[in-house]
């Protein structure tokens, strides 16, 4: 076997179809078929995950050949196969000795060597190397199949876990659109306990009963589409418009005399040729040659024409929506109903982010900051950790605004929505902070505030583009919960 063939042995095995067979076998599992048929979004996400696994496992089982147990034997095989027959006969015993304890081919090789001592065969080297090559092929195939089977079982366990998690999430969120279901599938790696499901159900119920919070979340979700892009202010348009054109066929004015064959505009003296039989032929000759004297007329004719022009755009430009950055005041003064509202509003924004293919980050702040990324691969774990966080400490708005501004300066956070959920019982921000925020506003980022207290600092509200106050009376809250 040539050296290059030996080096590419593992690659040839992976391309023999064993991986494709494993993928087909996976996709024919009844549980996976039922899950895929339940929602097109889940079907697409599941297929994408399996195809990604296919690429990863291809790389992993190819590396089986570079493991020490195969790498040394392949190198030894390549070396021995290049020797001439005489040198091979002299050193084959050393080759067999090196195989002892490292290769299952050792016993077969020892038997072949003993036979060779009894009967010298000029084709011994070729036969020996051929048997060795077949052993290497079989050993690599078995090792790759074992590796493939291990990864396949891991993938199946992950897929079944996601199906179970999606079933629980349907109880919480109800049926959603395809894109939302697909992103939930990506987040569904986390295993949900009964307590987790109860927590999510309670939060969804709280958000449903507090319709004011739900309306704020929906309004925040729409705002990214309601901003004009300054780079797209003028657009090319094409409209139908009535225009006037000058025409010789409209008899508005007589502007002169010219030669033509139009009898309707004939000068009276030209008709005199018809009064004399001997001149009649001259009239017809002038008519054929278009030399009859005619009145020249001209006027304006109106007609519809498509007119192309650049004009200022009157409707909002459809543009890519950036992520949500939700800064939640986790100070002790937010305990109780404000804490529930803040968590429910963040949960509602996460639902919108999933449906609109946006990211959603939560930064809990008091005397320190804790960041949760609710829409990443293990986002459900992040959501549950966030919902279980207890509010305590004091309010320090400055550091969290600094952190958010640093995030929004990057390209990923263009057209982002920053939402601060707090009681705003805190000191005003310095002028330098106001200037940094204004610069981000000029770059289409938006700053929002939801105030959960009647006693918030009004000067802090001037930082934000939009402010909502949500602090219903205790009587109103009791009526809502009934």
Q: Name 432's Cβ contacts closer than 8 Å, sequence gap at least 6.
A: none
User: What per-residue confidence (pLDDT) applies to 420?
Assistant: 92
Pairing mode, if any, of strands 292-312 and 324-329?
A: unpaired
Taken in order of first residue, the domains within the chain and their CATH numbers are 3-172 (no CATH), 211-227+318-481 (3.40.50.410), 234-312 (no CATH)
For the chain, 482 residues long, give each residue's pLDDT as a single digit of tens. 443 444 455 555 555 577 888 888 888 888 888 888 887 878 888 888 888 888 888 777 766 655 556 777 888 888 888 888 888 888 888 888 888 877 888 888 888 888 776 557 778 888 888 888 888 888 887 887 888 888 888 888 888 888 887 877 776 665 555 666 777 777 777 777 778 888 888 888 888 888 888 888 888 888 766 655 444 444 555 565 656 666 666 667 788 888 888 888 888 888 888 888 878 888 888 888 888 889 888 877 766 666 555 555 544 445 677 889 999 998 888 888 888 999 999 988 888 888 888 888 899 888 788 888 888 777 788 888 888 888 877 778 888 888 888 888 888 887 889 999 998 888 888 888 888 888 888 877 889 999 988 888 888 888 898 899 887 655 444 333 33
Q: Name 312's Cβ contacts closer than 8 Å, sequence gap at least 6.
A: 233, 234
Q: Which two tokens stand for residue 259?
A: 């030669």
User: What per-residue confidence (pLDDT) applies to 26?
Assistant: 82
Vertex 182 angle, CA 178 and 188, to 5°: 140
What is the rounded distance in angstroms from the CA atom of residue 19 to the CA atom of residue 56?
A: 11
Q: Which two tokens stand for residue 247?
A: 């025409």
User: What per-residue confidence (pLDDT) applies to 57?
Assistant: 81
Q: Name 248's Cβ contacts closer than 8 Å, sequence gap at least 6.
A: 296, 297, 298
Residues 449, 464 contacting (CB under 8 angstroms): yes
Pairing mode, if any, of strands 234-247 and 292-312?
A: antiparallel
Cα-to-chain-centroid distance, residue 255? 69
User: What per-residue confidence (pLDDT) applies to 448?
Assistant: 92
What is the rounded distance in angstroms from the CA atom of residue 225 to the CA atom of residue 415?
A: 9
The SS3 assignment for 201 reads helix
């Amino acid at each position: 076997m040539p050296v290059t063939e030996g080096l590419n042995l593992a690659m040839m095995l992976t391309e023999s179809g064993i991986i494709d067979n494993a993928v087909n076998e996976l996709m024919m599992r009844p549980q996976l078929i039922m899950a895929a048929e339940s929602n097109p979004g889940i079907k697409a996400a599941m297929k994408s995950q399996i195809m990604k696994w296919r690429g990863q496992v291809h790389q992993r089982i190819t590396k089986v050949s570079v493991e020490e147990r195969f790498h040394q034997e392949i190198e030894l095989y390549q070396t021995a196969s290049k020797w001439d027959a005489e040198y091979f006969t002299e050193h084959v015993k050393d080759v067999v000795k090196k195989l002892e304890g490292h290769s299952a081919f050792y016993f077969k090789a020892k038997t072949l060597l003993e036979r060779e001592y009894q009967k010298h065969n000029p084709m011994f080297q070729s036969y020996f190397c051929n048997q060795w090559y077949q052993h290497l092929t079989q050993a690599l195939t078995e090792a790759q199949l074992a590796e493939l089977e291990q990864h396949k079982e891991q993938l199946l366990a992950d897929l079944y876990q996601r199906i179970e998690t999606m079933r629980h999430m349907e109880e919480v969120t109800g049926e959603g659109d395809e894109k939302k279901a697909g992103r939930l599938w990506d987040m569904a790696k986390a295993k949900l306990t009964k307590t987790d499901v109860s927590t999510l159900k309670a939060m969804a119920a709280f958000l449903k009963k507090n319709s004011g919070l739900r309306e704020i979340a929906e309004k925040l979700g729409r705002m990214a589409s309601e901003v004009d892009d300054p780079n797209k202010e003028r657009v090319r348009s094409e409209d139908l418009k009535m225009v006037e054109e000058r025409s010789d066929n409209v008899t508005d004015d007589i502007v002169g005399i010219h030669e033509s064959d139009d009898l309707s505009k004939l000068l009276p003296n030209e008709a005199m040729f018809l009064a004399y039989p001997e001149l009649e032929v001259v009239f017809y000759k002038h008519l054929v040659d278009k030399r009859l004297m005619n009145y020249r007329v001209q006027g304006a004719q109106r007609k519809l024409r498509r007119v192309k022009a650049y004009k200022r755009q009157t409707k909002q430009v459809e543009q890519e929506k950036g992520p949500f950055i939700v800064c939640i005041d986790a100070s002790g003064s937010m305990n109780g109903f404000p804490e529930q509202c803040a968590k429910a509003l963040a949960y509602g924004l996460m639902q919108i982010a999933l449906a609109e293919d946006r990211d959603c980050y939560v930064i809990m702040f008091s005397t320190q900051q804790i960041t949760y990324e609710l829409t990443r691969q293990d986002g459900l774990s992040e959501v549950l950790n966030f919902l279980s966080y207890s509010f305590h400490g004091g309010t320090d708005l400055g550091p969290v605004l600094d952190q958010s501004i640093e995030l929004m300066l990057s390209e990923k956070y263009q057209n982002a929505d920053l939402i601060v959920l707090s009681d705003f019982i805190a000191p005003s921000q310095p002028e330098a902070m106001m200037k940094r925020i204004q610069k981000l506003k000029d770059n289409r980022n938006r700053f929002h505030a939801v105030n959960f207290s009647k006693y918030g600092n009004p000067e802090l509200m001037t930082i934000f583009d939009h402010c909502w106050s949500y602090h219903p009376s205790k009587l109103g809250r009791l009526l809502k919960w009934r």
